Structure 1
Amino acid sequence: MSETRLMRLDSFTLVVVLGTICVLTGSGFGIGWWRYRTEPALGHATTAFGLTALGCFLYLARGRIPDLLTIDIANAALFAALAIGWNAIRAQNGRQCLVWPLVLSCGLWLALCRFPPFYADTTLRTAAASLLIAGLSLGCLFEFMRLKNGARPIRMLLLVACAGNAAGFLLRGIYSLLAWYSGGSIADNIWVSLALLGALIFICALVLGSLWLWQERVFGQLQHEVEVDPLTGILNRRAFERGAVELLKGSRADRETLSLLLIDIDHFKLVNDQFGHLAGDLVLRIFADAVGDELRKMDLFGRFGGEEFVVLLRGADLDDALQVAEKLRVRISRLAVPWQDVLIRLTVSIGVAAAQERATTLFDLIGRADRGLYSAKGSGRNRVVIAARS
C-alpha cells in the first residue's frame, strides 16, 4: 500500500471516528435537552454536534453525491456547528447568543462557492475553510476564557484543546494560501491528516469538558434546591444551621463576635385567614427581600419555619445587633404589601442574642434569642428585646 493510499485511509478513518463521536455525543445532549428544556446550552450543544456529524458524513460521500452537498453544505454545516458551539459556551456563561458568527461564516463560504475559479481550486477552498474554522475556534477560545464555572483542570483542558484547534487550522490555512500563491497543491498532504487529528482531539476534549461542566451545573442546581427555601429564595433551616455552626467554629478560633436575630412576623396567621395563602406567600417574599436588602453579604439569613426568620451577624456585638434589629423593625413597619385593592401592613418582633463566650453553641444562641422573641411578643409585639440569660 502506498503512502498516499495510507494517508487517505487515515483521513477517512479519522472522519468516520469524528462523525461517530459527534452522533453519540449529540444524541446524549439531545436526551438531556429533552428533559431540561429550560437549558439553552444543551440545545445549542445538541445542534452543534449534530451539524458536525452531518458535515463529516457528507464529506465521506464525496464522489457519490453532488458536490453541492459534499463541498458547499458539508463545510457550511461545520462552520454552523462551531458558531452554534460558540453560543453554547455563551449560554453556559449566561450570556446572550450571537447570530453574526453563524451568518458571516456560512454566508461568506456559500458566497465564495458561487465563484467558479474558487470552487474549482481545492487548495484555495482549503485555505478559506481552514481560516474560517480557525476564526470560529478563536471565538470559542475567547468564551472559554470567560467561563465562570468549572474546575481549573477542566477549563485548562478546554482552553488548550481550543487553542490547539485554532492554531492547527490557522497554520493549515496559511500553508494552503502559500501553496496556492506558488501554484502548488496540498492534495494528499500530511496537513490534511494533521488537521483532522487536531479536530478529533478538540472534539474529544470538548465532549469531556462539556459533560463535566454540565455535571457541575446539575450538581449546583441540586445543591441550590436542597439549601434554598423555594418561596423566599433565602437559606432554609438546614442550610442556615450548617452555615451557622461553621461560623461559630471559626469565631472561636478567630475570636470573632457573632450575634443572632430571631424574627417573627406579627399576626401573620391573620394575613392568611383574611387575604388567603397567596397573599401570605407574597408577604413572605417581599419581607425576605426587604430584610435581605439591609444585611451584608457575609451575614447569614434563613427561613427558620413558617413566618419565623433568623439572621446571624458576623463581627457584631450586642450593641451592633441591637442597631441592626431596630433598623429592620422600622423598615418592616413602613412596608406596605399591595394585594388586590388593599395594602397589607406588617410589624415584626425580634429577639437578639450574642455569642460572646467561646463555649456558645448554636442551640444556646437560638434558645436565648427565642426567649427574647417570646418576651417581645408577650410585651405587645413590634419591638426588639435582648435575650435575658437563664
Structure 2
Amino acid sequence: MPVDMPTVLLAIVVVACSMGSAVLVSGWRLPRPDGLALWGVGLLLLALGFVLFGLHGWLDMPWLLWLGNVLLSLSYALVLLALEHFHQRRCSPWMLAGPVWLVALLSWGFLHQPQWRVPAVDMVLLGQWCIVAASVFRCQTGPLERGRWLLLLGASLMGVVYLGRLWSQVMGWSQIDQLLLSQLPQVLTHFAGLAGLVFLTLGYVLMTKERADAEFRQNARLDALTGVPNRSAFLDTFQHVLAQAARGRWPVSLLMADIDKFKVINDTYGHLAGDAVLRAVAQRLQSGLRAQDTLGRYGGEEFLVLLPDTPMAGARTLAQHLRYSVEQMVVPWEGQSIAVTISVGVYGCIPDGVQDAQALIDRADQAMYAAKRAGRNRVEVADVALACA
C-alpha cells in the first residue's frame, strides 16, 4: 500500500511541535540548568524546517529548501547545546555554529544542483549526529543510564536516516531530494527520523527526571542547615561500616562532638547566628577528615564522626586536632566575632557483629558528657575493651 508522504511530513511536524511545546512548558522557569528550553526550541525549529520542505514541494521555491536545511542544522546544534548545558560543559562555538554555516553555504551554492547539494548537506548533518552521539557517550552513568541509552538509540536512528539517504544516492536513486515522492527510501528515512525524534526527546526528558529524583534522594539524606548527612543517613552508614568491620575484624572509632554553651550563643546573638555557628563548625570538622570518614549531624548542636579502620589512639589524636581547629576559628556575625569550642567524646572497638550502632553512639555520648563535666573544650575517651560489648 503506498504511503502518503504529505501525511508523513505532517506527522513529523505535529509530533515535533507537540513535544517541543511540552518540553518548553515542562522546563519553564526551572532553577536547574537542564537545557529543556534549548531542546524545546530545537524541536520547534525542526518542525518549522519540515514545514518549509513541504511548502517547497508544493510551490517549488528553492529558497524555502535552503532555509529549511539551515533550520534543520540549527535544530541539531541546539540538541547538542542542550546536552552540554545539561552537564554544565562548555561546547566549542565552532562545533555548534560551524555545521550550520556549512549547511547554509552548501545549500545555497548547490541550490539548483540537487545531485551535489543533497549528499553534501546530508554528510554535514550526519556529522552533527556523530557529535551528538559522542556527547551522549560523555554523559554520566548510574542513575542517568536509561535516559542515556534512549538518547543513543535516537541519535543512532537519526544517523541511519542520513546514512540511508547517502546510500540511496550511491545506489543511483536520484530522487531523494523530492520529499513528497512516495518511494521506499523516502518512506524508510522519514519513519526512522520520526522514531529517532521520539526516542531522543523521551531520553532527554527521562535524564532530567532521573537527575531530579537522584537529587531529591540525596537531599533527603542531608541535613538542610549544614549540608552533612542527617541522623538517619549517618546511622545507615554506621550500621553498614560496623557489619564490614565485624567481618574483617578491623577497628571502628566514633567521635561525638558537641558545641559548648550553644544556648548562650543563641540567647546572645540570636538563632540565625546559631545557625551560622552550626554551619561553620560542620565545615571545619569536615575539612579535617579523611575521604573514608563520615561526618553527620546527630541533632541540635551535636555532630558524629565515624572513623572506619581507626584504632582508639588514632581517633583520640584526630579528636584533639578537630577540637583545636574549632577553637582557633571565629564566626563573624554582624560586625562581631563569635568564639566557638567543642567537647568531644571518643569511643572505639572491634565490632563483633551483634551490636547496633546506637549502643556505640551511647558510649561516645557518655564520653562527651564526661568532657563537659571536666570543663568543656576537651576530649575524653570512653572505657574500651577488645571488642564491642
Answer yes or no: same fold by TM over 0.5. Answer: yes
Residue 382 in 1 paired to residue 377 in 2?
yes
Deviation at 1:170, TM superposition (A): 4.3
Secondary structure class of the residue paired with 1:263: strand
**Residue number in structure 1 paired with 2:338:** 344
Deviation at 1:172, TM superposition (A): 2.9
AA in 1 matched with 2:374: S
| Distance in 2 (alpha carbons) for counterparts of 1:126 and 1:333 | 73
Deviation at 1:120, TM superposition (A): 1.5
**Residue number in structure 2 paired with 1:238:** 232
**Residue number in structure 2 paired with 1:162:** 155
Equivalent positions of 1:263-302 (< 5 A) are: 263-302=257-296
| Distance in 2 (alpha carbons) for counterparts of 1:68 and 1:106 | 18
**Residue number in structure 2 paired with 1:202:** 196
Find 1:363's aligned residue among 358, 367, 373: 358
Secondary structure class of the residue paired with 1:338: strand
Range with bigger deviation, 310-319 or 331-340: 331-340
Q: Deviations over 1:88-108 (max 9, x none)?
A: 211222213554444323333
TM-score scaled to structure 1, two decimals?
Answer: 0.87
Q: Is the 8 A contact 1:129 1:173 kept in 2?
A: no
AA in 2 matched with 1:120: H
Q: Deviations over 1:336-372 (max 9, x none)?
A: 2233433322211111112423133111111111101
**Residue number in structure 2 paired with 1:78:** 72
**Residue number in structure 2 paired with 1:122:** 114
Q: 1:55 to 1:356 in 2, by over 3 A?
A: same
Q: 1:301 to 1:70 in 2, by over 3 A?
A: same
Count of residue pairs the alignment pairs up: 379
Equivalent positions of 1:1-390 (< 5 A) are: 6=2, 9=4, 11-34=5-28, 36-63=30-57, 67=61, 70-115=64-109, 118-149=110-141, 150=143, 152=145, 154-170=147-163, 172-173=165-166, 176=169, 186=176, 187=178, 188=181, 190-358=184-352, 359-388=354-383
Secondary structure class of the residue paired with 1:350: strand
| Distance in 2 (alpha carbons) for counterparts of 1:355 and 1:208 | 51
Unaligned segments of structure 2, at least 5 residues: none
AA in 2 matched with 1:290: R
Q: Is the 8 A contact 1:124 1:176 kept in 2?
A: no
| Distance in 1 (alpha carbons) for counterparts of 2:89 and 2:194 | 27
Q: Is the 8 A contact 1:58 1:69 kept in 2?
A: no
Q: Is the 8 A contact 2:259 2:343 kept in 1?
A: yes
Q: Is the 8 A contact 1:23 1:53 kept in 2?
A: yes
Q: Is the 8 A contact 2:27 2:37 kept in 1?
A: yes
Q: Deviations over 1:128-177 (max 9, x none)?
A: 33122111111111111111134545534433442443354146347648
Q: Is the 8 A contact 1:337 1:345 kept in 2?
A: yes
Q: Deviations over 1:164-192 (max 9, x none)?
A: 43354146347648969xxx554556443
Range with bigger deviation, 315-324 or 47-56: 47-56
| Distance in 2 (alpha carbons) for counterparts of 1:106 and 1:287 | 53
Deviation at 1:325, TM superposition (A): 1.0
Aligned-residue CA RMSD (Å): 2.7
AA in 2 matched with 1:169: Y
Q: Is the 8 A contact 1:371 1:388 kept in 2?
A: no
Secondary structure class of the residue paired with 1:120: coil
Q: Is the 8 A contact 2:161 2:190 kept in 1?
A: no
Query: Identity of paired residues, percent?
Result: 30
Deviation at 1:235, TM superposition (A): 0.7
Q: Is the 8 A contact 1:127 1:177 kept in 2?
A: no
Q: Is the 8 A contact 2:345 2:379 kept in 1?
A: yes
Q: Is the 8 A contact 2:144 2:211 kept in 1?
A: no
